[in-house]
Amino acid sequence: MDLPIDHFRLLGVSPSAQADAIFRRLQSRCDSPPDQGFTHEVLVQRESLLRRSADLLTDSAERAEYEAALLALSESHPNETVGLDLSSSSEVAGLILLWEAGAAQEAFQLARQGLQPPQAPALGSGRESDLTLVAALACRAAADAEQQQRRYESAAQLLRDGIELQQRMGKLPDQEAVLERELKSLLPFRILDLLSRDLSAVSDHDQGIALLDAMVRERGGLEGQLSFADSSAMSQTDFESFFQQIRCFLTVQEQIDLFSGWQAEGSGEAGFLAVFALTAAGFSRRKPELIEQAREQVQRLSTIELDPMPLLGCLDLLLGNVAEAANHFRSIRDPELLRWISDHPGDDLAAQCEYCRVWLERDVMPGHRDVDAAGVDLDAWFADRDVQAYVDRLDRQSVRSGEASIADQPTGDVSFPSGWLASADQAPSDRDELDIGDNSEDGDQSIRTTRQWKPLALGAAGLVLLSALVFAVQRNSNQSPKPEQSPSLQQPVIESTPPAQKPSVGDPSPAKPQANLRSETTASGTEPQPLVADMPDEQQLRALVQGWLDSKARALQGQPSDLPVVARQRLIQRVDQDREADVAAGNTTVVNASVTALDVVSRQPRRIELTAEVAYSDSTINGSGAVVRSTKPGSLSVTYILGRDGDQWRLTAYIPQG
């Protein structure tokens, strides 16, 4: 055998080493032979080869002649390696020394050749056992050297060759198992290597995706449900860190395909990430139909820890479903997030737009190979023709479905007045929200209902208004919390819902109320008092709700009211708009409403949620005193949200049930 190594490297000394250093090195090598299980015979041969090299290098004449030969060879064959001739009886010992000298890949390839015909040793011989062992050890060392150079696919190929050789020999199952574990642990690095290559390396990229898909499925999804039973598998923490690294090398469509496949196999985390990928694709490509798919995907998620309301709020906002988005933001259960929205400068819609922008910029758009994560522009989104056309189509569909639902509704105790359907070519007002209005007549409290739209019909005018507001929010972002200061936009594990407020998108510019309004008295005949108790009891809460009903009843009839005592300004503005609309039509609405039962759903330091049963009827009277519209007496179930402004509790929102 021609062993590709010189005497200096074989012994492990430098070319300038003197005789005493050479003897010390020889003694050290002889005293510490490899202990992996080689036969005694091959270890003796190893020591003999070491002594032969030491004898040559310590003989001044032979060393001078050898160094001259090395110099001449390097000049005539500069790219070739000096070799040593070994007899066939010493070749295994030479391969062991070659492996020990750091030439592991050469040792592995020569050992493979030695185990194949016609050089293959006799079955069951010590030479066969030693060659198989040195092949396994050299294979591991060569693969490790390739890993150090970040040549992970080359390392994997070496390990596969080593495993195949060990399986064929069938002698060292322990070494075969070690090689298999090495190959398995190399998989994440191989995937990263393949996916991070230049885009022109299409086959390598596809191979990386296939390996990633197989890896995740073998783990039992992104959650690693099956990996816990395998001690050699990557820990969940390490896997999550690895996955964050490789996501940026995947296109958004590749992520959609992978996440959808893993979700079909039962991975809830994959379903969650599919929402982000669909949203990123839809927003970056101006394809609102993908946003709609993301919204449907959120509604299918069943992860217990996930609060879908922030996601649904943002997606509905992008689809122009402003009223529905406000409902979702109202139902968020994370107190910190709700406090941020409540404290945000401007109205609720401005806060929701800012939240959506930060969510897109920080959580959705990054992590895709073909998506620009910088400069999320909601104004450009709503100004896009394809987006406007899609939203207008949703508007027309919602109007048709809404008209059909009202036409099919059976006659009951509550009738819906005409004229509340939002037209696709009109900007919506607060009446597009499911609303309860109150006023009284002949000593009875009353409530009035309007219809909430899913989705809200924005039309062209509504889109322009929303775009203008988003532009204003972005332009004045110096007044808003920075993204890093806002609460976490990852889906929180949440506890309760703070007061939310419904945005008003339209500007109906109603006529001013006239002075000649009918005067009615309320049933209670008492003025509501500010509620300042830290922990108000049921009687105090009932008085506040009844005060709201009575005060709104008086306001709708044009009488002085105490609405600021019981409600926030946004709700007061809504009452004023309803009254102005009646005045413009020459009508007066009389509502009879009284609280018949009340139940506290939840309490927080600055938020209380109630459900109440309200006895209800209403009538709308024109200037001649004729009833033009009425609702028969009945009972309504209403959810009321109270928020604390300083020391005082006020009504912030209300939602009819059913």
pLDDT digits (tens, 9 = 90+) for 448-505: 333 232 333 344 334 444 444 444 444 444 444 444 333 334 433 323 333 333 333 3
Residue with the two structure tokens 């041969």: 45
Please tell me which of 49-53, 474-478, 634-638 the model is most confident about, judged by mean pLDDT.
49-53
| Same domain, yes or no: 330 and 360 | yes
Q: Tell whether 411 and 283 lie within a shared domain.
A: no
> Is 398 found in the same domain as 352?
no
Together in a domain, 308 and 439: no
Do 250 and 337 belong together in one domain? Answer: yes
| Distance separating alpha carbons of residues 393 and 195, to the nearest angstrom | 40
Reduce the DSSP state of residue 189 to 3 states and report it. Answer: helix
The owner of tokens 């050890």 is: 137
The last residue of one of the domains, among 195, 212, 229, is: 195
Q: 605: how many CB neighbours lie within 10 A of its CB?
A: 9
Which of 527, 520, 555 has its CA nearest to residue 441? 520
Instruction: Note whether 96 and 153 are same-domain residues.
Output: yes
Q: Are residues 360 and 444 in the same domain?
A: no
Is residue 328 within 8 Å of residue 315, measured between CB atoms? no
Do 464 and 398 sit in the same domain of this protein? Answer: yes
Are 417 and 357 part of one and the same domain? Answer: no
Asked if residue 658 has pLDDT above 90, the reply is no
- Taking residues 532-546, what's their average pLDDT? 92
Q: What does pTM read for this prediction?
A: 0.56
Same domain for 208 and 132?
no
Write out the two tokens for 529. Answer: 């008092």
- Per residue in 288-324, pLDDT (tens digit) is 999 999 999 998 886 557 788 999 999 999 998 888 8
User: Could you tell me if 311 and 253 lie in one domain?
Assistant: yes
Q: Which of 22-26, 394-398, 422-426 has the highest mean pLDDT?
A: 22-26
d(CA 106, CA 112): 10
- Find the domain containing 375 and state its range: 202-391
Instruction: State which of 176, 195, 214 marks the end of a domain.
Output: 195
Query: Where is the domain boundary, 391, 411, 438?
Result: 391
- Whether 642 and 567 share a structural domain: yes
* Rounded alpha-carbon distances, angstroms, from residue 46 to 22, 92, 98, 194, 438: 16, 8, 11, 41, 101
Rounded Cα distance, 580 and 607, in Å: 31
Place of tokens 């005497």: 7
Q: How many domains does the chain have?
A: 3
